[in-house]
Amino acid sequence: MNTTTFSIIAAAVGLVVLACAHWLAVDYFFFAGYTILQFVVLATAWNILGGYCGYVNFGTAAFFALGAYSSVFMHKTFPLPIPLLIVFGAVVSGIVGLGMGYLTLRLRGAFFSIATLAMAVVFQTLVVNWDYVGGSRGAYIIHPENFEFGPLKVHYIEYLFVLMLALAVIALVTARTIERSQLGYGFATIRDDELAAEACGVPTLRLKLIATTLSGAFMGMAGAPFPYYIGYVQPQSAFALDYAVNSIAMPMIGGTTSWVGPLVGSILLGSAQQYATVTISSAVNLLIVGLMLVAFVIIAPNGLIGLVQERGRAWRKP
């Protein structure tokens, strides 16, 4: 299947999801669906660097919050429609990703991971001390009740849901395109044996920088509409470690080598968490995510996709 066909199918699936959601017309569905789609984008973005190149980014929360806070900043200085804010957030996070990568990716992989972990703490420090975007008190973003565009009039949450749905489709199409392009093969050589790849003339640093920038940009995109969704952003919620652990756990549980893994992982884990948050408590559901992450990396290193593939192979060769 070539990329164009896949894009059309992905867009069609997106439209079907939207049609079903619109027909149901339950606001809670949009709220829950938005969160799950946000995780689809974050997990796919993480996987571009983590799954394809094998570099672990612990700073998802930092990139996400960068996107969110660039929206808060623009909201106060120069209000723009949300799609443009998403582009702005992507540019900011992408540039930060590039800078981080340039400083740390020339060294061993572990340094990059540690630097991303520390980066989250530092950006939080900066935001806490920056009063213009609300500081430690947080910032209120009040959005209109309805979104109107010409004759079209829908609840604002449905508008946000549609944006996030579109982002998820774009992220998945991008991930799949990368996977099947020369770029993706280059990423895979880095993951398998970076030294050998370098020796064969693969420009490893440039490829890693491309991956970091793309990955960071998508995380920023996921974060940009967040202030409008939540209505009140404060550093603790935007920088929550939940984003980091979820965006690692979802691809790991689904499977990291293809775009299907993060999608499956985020839909499963995202829905389970929506359910657990409502029925049990949010602390318990984070504990479950942590336990599942550890269990999967030990028992099923290739995730659910890996398990299915093994089963398929065993079935074909009796």
Partner 1 sequence: MDFNLLINAIIAGLLLGGFYAAVSAGIAIAFGMLDIVNIAHPAFVILGSYIAYTVNINLGVDPIVVSILALPAFYALGAFIYQVYYLSFEKRGQEALRGLAFFFGLLFITEVTLLLVFGADYRYVEAAYIGPSIHVGQFELPLRMLVPCVVALALFGAIQLFVTRTFIGRAIMAVSQDQLALQLMAADPIRIKRIAFAISIATASIAGALLIVIQPVEPSVGRDYIGRVFAICVLGGLGSMPGTLVAAILIGVVESLTATFYGPSWAPAVSFGFLLLTLAVRPAGLMGR
Identify whether the C-beta of residue 244 lies closer than 8 Å to the C-beta of residue 43.
no
User: Which residues in the 276-305 window bind partner 1 by CB under 8 A?
Assistant: 283-284, 286-287, 289-291, 293-294, 297-298, 301
- SS3 assignment, position 228: helix
Contact pick of 26, 126, 200, 278 for partner 1 (by CB under 8 A)? 126
111 contacts partner 1 (rule: CB under 8 A) = yes
**Separation CA 54–CA 253 (nearest Å):** 15
Please count the residues of this chain forming the interface with partner 1, following the rule CB under 8 A. 44
Residue pair 19/165 in contact by the 8 Å Cβ criterion: no
* Rounded CA separation 187/198 (Å): 12
Torsion, Cα 234 235 238 240, to 10 degrees, reads: -120
Q: Is 1 exposed, middle or buried (0-12, 13-18, 19+ CB in 10 A)?
A: exposed
Alpha carbon distance 70, 132 (integer Å): 12
Binding span for partner 1 by CB under 8 A among 27-35, 68-76, 89-97, 116-124: 116-124
50 binding partner 1? (CB under 8 A): yes
19 binds partner 1 (CB under 8 A): no
Look up tokens 């009740």; give the residue.
Answer: 145
Q: Which of 26, 122, 196, 280 binds partner 1 (CB under 8 A)?
A: 122
- Distance between CA atoms of residues 213 and 224, nearest Å: 16
Residue 140: DSSP 8-state: E
Q: How far is the CB of 291 from partner 1 (least distance, A)?
A: 6
Pairing of strands 232-233, 139-140: antiparallel
**Closer residue to partner 1 in complex, CB, 162/249:** 249
In the bound state with partner 1, the residue whose beta carbon lies nearer, of 7 and 113, is: 113
Give the SS3 label for residue 118: helix
Q: Which position among 11, 56, 205, 272 is part of the footprint of partner 1 (CB under 8 A)?
A: 56
Stretch that binds partner 1, among 20-28, 70-78, 87-95, 242-250 (CB under 8 A): 242-250
User: Which residue, 84 or 291, is less far from partner 1 as judged by CB?
Assistant: 291
Closest separation between CB of residue 241 and partner 1, Å? 7
153-212 binders of partner 1 (CB under 8 A) = 191
User: Using the rule CB under 8 A, which residue among 16, 19, 114, 278 binds partner 1?
Assistant: 114
Instruction: Find out whether 140 and 231 touch, Cβ atoms under 8 Å.
Output: yes
Residues lying near partner 1 in the complex (CB under 8 A) are found at 50, 54, 56, 58, 103-104, 107, 109-111, 113-115, 117-119, 121-122, 124-126, 128-129, 136, 191, 241, 244-245, 248-249, 252, 256, 283-284, 286-287, 289-291, 293-294, 297-298, 301
